[in-house]
Structure 1
Amino acid sequence: MKKNLFVFLLFSCFLTHSQTIRKYSNEFMNIGVDAAAMGMSNAAVANTNDVNACYWNPAGLIGLEDSQAALMHASYFANIAQYDYVAFAKPIDDESAWGMSLIRFGVDDILNTTQLIDANGTIDYNRISKFSTADYGMTFSYARKLKLPGFQYGVNTKVIRRIIGNFASSWGFGFDVGFQFEKNDWHFGLMLRDITTTYNVWNINEDEFNSIKGAVAGQNQDLPQSTEITLPKAQLGLSKKFEFHNETSLLASGNLNMQFSKTNDIFATDVVSIDPALGFEYGYTDLVFLRAGVGNFQTVTQIDNSKKIGFQPNIGLGFKYRGIQVDYALTDLGNQSAALYSNIFSLKVDLSIFR
């Protein structure tokens, strides 16, 4: 039974990774980064202006005053899957900036039981080995102000590396383009992800694949297809920060996350599906921050075929002192959506404090 379960899970990975055109290819790149943004339900396209703009909207890198670095860690599926992120960015001059980031989403120490039973039918636990499956996303970002006052743009070049032990691996490449505009303290943002589509090419290790085929006779006899395409997505954002006389502030931010196909999003047509997100950040003296947001609105089909609206509420907390900011977010508060909750921690550092 262990062997059959392993084969089923492994081929689920193959089929998830290796269809020709899939709506949800490279989906790990859509999880998000930075506990501050996640506490606001990822409503960050318009207001992002630090090192994490490498992910949310590269145009926001123009807001950097000095070099910054960021780290983040989150665990999913009862700590089985680990999600890690690191980024660095710095200004080039008053008109431009650059940055780079790396995301890893992986499951380690998976038991490989395909060789548990030898050719003589004897069970030998010494034949069990371990492998990892991991997805990597490396992003190189560049941002520049436009000659029109208040406008700026940014471009991401993405390199995707995906590995399933010794069984298969792939390389992928793609581009994002982002824009921001500010007028009368209102911030507008547009992020176009995978604008040229992101194309992944898989290399299947046929020797390892053949060893799996023999594990369950008569099943899984065909090699998975070796290419996949990630379709474009768009995010439209709006935000404004309100300053009060008692040294407090309130940042309100909203996103419209769009996919150009019919999904379970709350607003869905054959042309485009839209999932709104709304987030708030209450700050005191730019030192302590409380955050809340709601997003991931989905139409969920129940067991009795009735429909209900699922949503994901998030909360967060942050502290900032002398260029060091530590943030925490709890996602899917109360288990209101189909997504699993997670505790997320992130760190952001202004590197000027070391000079």
Structure 2
Amino acid sequence: MNIGVDAAALGMSNAVVASSADVNSCYWNPAGLIHLEDNQIALMHANYFANIAKYDYAAYASPIDDRSAWGISLIRFGVDDILNTTELIDNEGKIDYNRVKLFSTADYGFTFSYAVKLPVPGFQYGVNAKIIRRVIGDFASSWGFGFDFGLQFEKNDWQFGLMLRDITTTYNIWNINEAAYKKIADAIPGQNQEMPESTEITLPKAQLGMAKKFIFHDDYSLLAAANMNMQFTQTHDLISTPIVSIDPAIGLEFGYTNLAFLRAGVGNFQQVTQLDNSEKIGFQPNIGLGFKYKGIAIDYALTALGNQSTALYSNVFSLKIDLSLFRN
């Protein structure tokens, strides 16, 4: 749930909390759903780690009236066809490849979003209710629940956004297959001697963003946006304290007649320890392209899961369709 969705946003290093205003607001900031003029759907696919892991996303959103909107989205991140070799050797100590089976491990996130325009001009808020499902073959599975809260404010062409993720702390309760666990409990002396914890928690996080769109000669536009991504624990982020750690992100989108877009961004600033124990600042640059015509938007991003010194970049494609196109 931390990777992000929509190639347009990923190309801007996810600095879209303030400017998100379409179906993808289900993920970035549910308050942005207020800007919907009609029903929209979105799809995205990406491969990570040399095509080992697959990341997929689908969303649908619709306005309810001129003051509210709703949406749903589904995310899956999984690795399929993993070899299960725990039974490779039979009871007589012989290797039997027929005993090797395949399994998948996957995380699912299902989100229901609702947004409302406040009586105060320029303000809108939204909430997410999330269901988290995690599966590791037949070995273990879990269910989790959590909530997000988003807020947006607009004034004098400036946009501001606040996204509070997992505000109640998201809990996942694991069900572990004890029979499968016992088969590997003594495989390596001193390891796997105790059952894993059955409760997993995701601590709250906050994202504070601002954005402004500049128009040049009616044909050209430039959207400039910035995020401050905050975790309430000490990490290796650029700004790190025992109370809060902050990782900034900056994104730009250059547009031509609202038809073609060129995007760039930089984020994931981290304090990286080198082999000689010296430290340097690592970061992740992203780029992207987009095309929009008659309610259909196709976007591409070259992005990664880590900073530029360690990450393997992946190609991300996404599609967004305004369903009013078919009614017209």
TM normalised by structure 1 equals: 0.90
Structure 1 runs (4+) deviating above 3 angstroms are 214-219, 332-335
- In structure 2, the gaps of 5 or more residues are none
Residue 95 of structure 2 is aligned with which of 103, 123, 127? 123
Partner Cα distance (1:304, 1:248) in 2: 48
CA distances 1:189-211 after superposition (whole Å, capped 9, x unpaired): 00000000001100001011112
1:342 and 2:306 correspond: no
How many angstroms does 1:340 deviate by?
Answer: 2.7
Aligned pairs, number: 327
CA distances 1:308-341 after superposition (whole Å, capped 9, x unpaired): 0000000000000110000000015997243331
Match of 1:230 in 2: 202
Match of 1:213 in 2: 185
- The sequence identity of aligned pairs, in percent, is 76
Partner Cα distance (1:296, 1:219) in 2: 34
Structure with the higher strand share, 1 or 2: 2
Residue 48 of structure 1 is aligned with which of 20, 25, 32? 20
3-state SS, counterpart of residue 181 of structure 2 = helix
Match of 2:51 in 1: 79
Partner Cα distance (1:193, 1:218) in 2: 38
Does the 8 Å CA contact 2:270/2:307 hold for their aligned counterparts? no
Superposed, 1:48-197 pairs within 5 Å as 48-197=20-169
Partner Cα distance (1:259, 1:335) in 2: 18
Pair 134,231 (structure 1): closer, same or farther in 2 beyond 3 Å? same
Match of 1:310 in 2: 282
Pair 201,143 (structure 1): closer, same or farther in 2 beyond 3 Å? same
1:254 and 2:207 correspond: no
How many angstroms does 1:354 deviate by?
Answer: 1.3
3-state SS, counterpart of residue 30 of structure 1 = coil
Comparing 174-183 with 336-345, which one deviates more in the overlay? Answer: 336-345
3-state SS, counterpart of residue 54 of structure 1 = helix
3-state SS, counterpart of residue 75 of structure 1 = strand
Match of 1:202 in 2: 174
Partner Cα distance (2:51, 2:35) in 1: 35
3-state SS, counterpart of residue 237 of structure 1 = strand
How many angstroms does 1:217 deviate by?
Answer: 5.4
Structure with the higher helix share, 1 or 2: 1
Partner Cα distance (1:334, 1:117) in 2: 38
TM normalised by structure 2 equals: 0.98
3-state SS, counterpart of residue 353 of structure 1 = helix
RMSD over aligned CA atoms reads 1.3
Partner Cα distance (2:53, 2:278) in 1: 32
How many angstroms does 1:35 deviate by?
Answer: 0.3
